[in-house]
């Protein structure tokens, strides 16, 4: 069975995973906002929630993403997600995208279906 998504970014810590995915199960004329998704996965409940992407910025060493839910700063090795209104700060490890943990992959597949 063909996977329904490809992982573009995968960041995590002990409680949270943040991912950018590209859906591979949609038609070629699907809207970009449907094809590319940023998702948060709670690592205790494996509840998946969509992040509302607003804008991005990048330089040679740092990528930045701005969401309704907060701000994500990424370099090659790590990331920091600051929740809106500074309600939480999450230091994250930036993984080379290989395979996701099965629980995370399953939670995302269930969310997309």
Instruction: Identify the pLDDT of residue 2.
Output: 67
Q: Which residues contact 45 (CB under 8 A, 6 or more apart)?
A: none
Residue 6 pLDDT > 90: yes
Model pLDDT, residue 71? 96
pTM recorded for the entire structure: 0.91
How many beta carbons lie within 10 A of that of residue 86, not counting itself?
Answer: 9
3-state SS, residue 85: helix
According to the model, what pLDDT value does residue 1 have? 58
Question: 69-85, pLDDT tens digit by residue?
Answer: 999 999 999 999 999 98
């Amino acid at each position: 069975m063909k996977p329904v998504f490809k992982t573009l970014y995968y960041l995590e810590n002990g409680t949270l995973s943040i991912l950018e995915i590209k859906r591979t199960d949609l038609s070629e004329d699907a809207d970009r906002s449907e094809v590319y998704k940023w998702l948060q996965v709670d690592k205790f409940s494996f509840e998946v929630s969509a992040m509302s992407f607003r804008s991005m910025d990048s330089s040679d060493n740092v990528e930045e993403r701005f969401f309704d839910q907060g701000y994500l700063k990424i370099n090659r090795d790590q990331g920091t997600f600051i929740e809106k209104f500074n309600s939480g700060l999450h230091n994250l490890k930036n993984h080379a995208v290989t395979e996701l943990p099965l629980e995370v992959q399953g939670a995302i597949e269930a969310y997309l279906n």
